[in-house]
Structure 1
């Protein structure tokens, strides 16, 4: 079981968040406490910090800053405004996910399962403790790799929004063409190809693990026009979103 620290200054919404999900069934033990009085070592007792910041976005960002002073524990922000500047700050603090208000049970479930999957992958990698194999990464400066990771983190957090490499380049103060070339060398695909893959893989995951409507999933992965989402999904998987869900249900 993963220990989750729920931070919410509002007693009423804190109670609602506790009742929003069957946390134990998902493999999480939910606790709430005043993170302001905790030491970094105490925060690291948790595998995830969930910060509800509806109406208190500044408070949530200050908590992220304090936590990141000495801890890399995964952070999920929920209940904030659907605002680009907030998402940008969330990327700076390397949060695992940013869920704007209103947050549905299905959306939060998908987020938690995604974090749980990442933790399992990281745990398996740590347990193997194998040396990294030689690769083409040595041909790139370490600073470039850092920038590329920031680009990928941005995509992960802001996947529900309209994303362009030019916009990211401006935020990171990089030349767009230069960043696009570096990204292609590192990822063996263009930025747009990577973005499409991330959108489609997230959509597949949500179709498999949640009861979200297809139009809700389309919005979650950055498509406001359903026809465009349907076209992209079918081109990527060979079947429509509804057919894909039926196939998964049949084989489960």
Structure 2
């Protein structure tokens, strides 16, 4: 069994998350919980945990400082829960190698995916074997990008697709080596970052061509192309049709 420390200043969501983890029934158990951030250090010193789940919604700065404090003492996996508009906060949290950042309202499937990823990381990084007794605090390799890092990169692409995105720029924001992050991205997605970026831009362009009356130069700008001729070339290479041909084939007025 993987012992979990749950930290949440809100008593209602504290109990709701505890019940949710129990209901998932995937070998994670909330063995200690607290609604006080200042209790966390002592709990870590006095108990053995495999994971810490921290709700920082409404306590953003304090929550990030808590992550920093934990990381000064331990590499124990951390999952943060926060607001859906706090993506900048998630970037900051990643500097302390958190394993995932989940947004409220938290869905059961999302939490399950995150816990399974932590479980996999625990097993890979430490040859961890769950047992019925106290579990040990497991070290996670420093600077090891977890699945959540890759998801953050993908999230960045979705949010900032209209800008000049490069893996180098994202790596700098997330404080990762660019070549290393690129290698991990390829391993996880089975394609390079640049191929993924092109795919996402073209797929969004296809949707906009089919479902809106936006001008083609507006669509090009929306998906990150300031040079319209370059957009034309890439779109035809990707779809086999020009953007005008594609729009005629999938008349947006009929798609709506």
TM-score computed with the length of structure 1 as normaliser: 0.56
Matched, 1:80 2:83: yes
Q: Secondary structure at the match of 1:64?
A: helix
Name stretches of at least 5 consecutive residues in structure 1 with no aligned partner: 127-145, 202-221, 229-252
Matched, 1:22 2:22: yes
Distance of aligned partners of 1:157 and 1:86 in 2 relative to their CA distance in 1, 3 Å threshold: farther
Give the match for residue 124 of structure 1.
127
Q: Secondary structure at the match of 1:162?
A: helix
> Could you tell me how far apart the structure 2 residues matched to 1:18 and 1:154 are?
22
Matched, 1:106 2:80: no
Q: Secondary structure at the match of 1:158?
A: helix
> Could you tell me how far apart the structure 2 residues matched to 1:121 and 1:169 are?
24
Give the match for residue 32 of structure 1.
33
> Could you tell me how far apart the structure 2 residues matched to 1:71 and 1:16 are?
27
Give the match for residue 69 of structure 2.
66
RMSD: 3.7
2:155 to 153, 156, 161: 161
**Contact 1:44–1:73 (CA under 8 A) maintained in structure 2:** no
Distance of aligned partners of 1:24 and 1:170 in 2 relative to their CA distance in 1, 3 Å threshold: closer
> Could you tell me how far apart the structure 2 residues matched to 1:17 and 1:77 are?
12
**Contact 2:81–2:104 (CA under 8 A) maintained in structure 1:** yes
> Could you tell me how far apart the structure 2 residues matched to 1:11 and 1:22 are?
17
Q: Secondary structure at the match of 1:39?
A: helix
Moved over 4 A (4+): 149-154, 222-228
Q: Secondary structure at the match of 1:59?
A: helix
Matched, 1:54 2:57: yes
- Structure 1 residues 39-62: Cα deviation after superposition (integer angstroms, max 9, x where no partner): 375276111000012222222212
Corresponding residue pairs, total: 175
Distance of aligned partners of 1:225 and 1:195 in 2 relative to their CA distance in 1, 3 Å threshold: farther
Higher relative contact order (CA 8 A, sep 6+): 2
For the pair shown, the structure with the greater C-alpha radius of gyration is 2
TM-score computed with the length of structure 2 as normaliser: 0.56
Q: Secondary structure at the match of 1:70?
A: coil
